[in-house]
Structure 1
């Protein structure tokens, strides 16, 4: 917690067992009755349709209403131009991921949330180390999330974190993370707890005091990270600057090598104020090509180059989301294009230039057939 907090320059790190759990904890925290103005069932949260499922699921799981907007074709992030159109009297929050480590337009997002007094949750699971105008993404809103899955910038095998500069939100998040109990401070040393009030909680109508280990102020879960994982994380954070530098190097090496194939591929773009710590290299097939995405990705996989689709694409086209209570803004053509034509390849720090040359050459062998 301390090491990662120092790296990001934030006060509070709440480690959890996955990035998906981090998103669940973050949204649930903002629904707490301990807040003066919590999210309530039926409130709306603006979110891109082209999202990872567990960026959207906590909204639904907390009985909130997702309002889906489209993405930009250039950076594959949410389209800030649709934020005002998505606004309604029930709008209370905005939640989105920085796609594959590429920061969204935070100037536009922050202007919108400040104007309308909205909560902001940044899903930074793919963006640890990315900055906007020199400021780490994830440090703009009330809460942000990270993933420590093996493919991410650092790993503890499986894990994640919620982070914030607001101690009250961190206290609620720790309750959500720890079965919902009021205090997480420990009770073995000293016996009375680090808070000093372990035996001073009261339950109305019951005489005497109640041990705060069994005093519940939130509807919580058990989503904690283990100590052995945290030990691994300490070592990983020490290496994080090197990991980020290697990812950036690998991204730009691939970018230079793939530019020769722009008749077939739309290469990623990023804002001049953004400095992405790339999680992966996103690609979009150009339109009206004589082959389909699966033809290319199958060829790459057969040649030992792993690929991933850009998560759910337009999530509203996925079977599980056909009957959810939601709104959408417009026809979502870019989200549909992502669903049809987008994929990504890796920029893992362990890749060397010979590996990257092989990747570039393999793309060329496929395109040479056309």
Structure 2
């Protein structure tokens, strides 16, 4: 039996309405995923320019820009040991246009260092990938510190507790936590001088205002090669391919000592998974590519891409590890 014209018209109208209704029913992020990125993406570095975080962020941003055809702009938002910039990304719109280049201090140390944070370093973010691992290099101003190696520095520090000053990029920075671990491992006490970023701290170290620091290869090796600073040791268990003449700290009176920095890319929590996956794949290609890998290795960094799930688990394990250092060194801040 044929449906009456009025019924056929109603059925046809309903069928024609289905595609539009289906599109309208999609959540806004789903609509945006197909065109992402349609405008510039910013990568927030929670420190001032010139440190390892900034150097790695800019290197990765250049490759992501080439991959996606949109600008990836590095924005430095330093302060409070990296918490200001990290907080800004945690509270940003989860649309893929605001990312964070986080590191060991902002993601693993600060949760136990600061008593009150307005975000959680795991739950407030969508991890994308671990980017690089950077052994710290202990460097001294040769006009202020006569020690030629780590064993001599330990002896000097034990003879004159608090007589040596070490700089860092701020409370909770990689240099701060690495030196705290070194002091615990070697039974030494040195005076901490926090700065608002690695670059001003390195300027003062070269200028002779402070004695030493523990910082990543990217900011440390150029002044060492220029003869402005003396490198005493590296904090990994193996020597740096970029500087094989610098012995490890474990070789020089602190057996088993290891305190490396690491850096990774994150987005705000609830960023659509397709965007996270695209960023993960593009970042992995860049980090495994010969050009970027060679550039990082020349700076003393090692590319280390992984999956979002692996990066999340890594952050959790590092938080547990460094919370013990914070507790033993009594480093908690308000």
Q: Structures share a fold, TM > 0.5? A: no
Structure number with higher relative contact order (C-alpha < 8 Å, ≥ 6 residues apart): 2
Larger helix proportion of the pair: 2
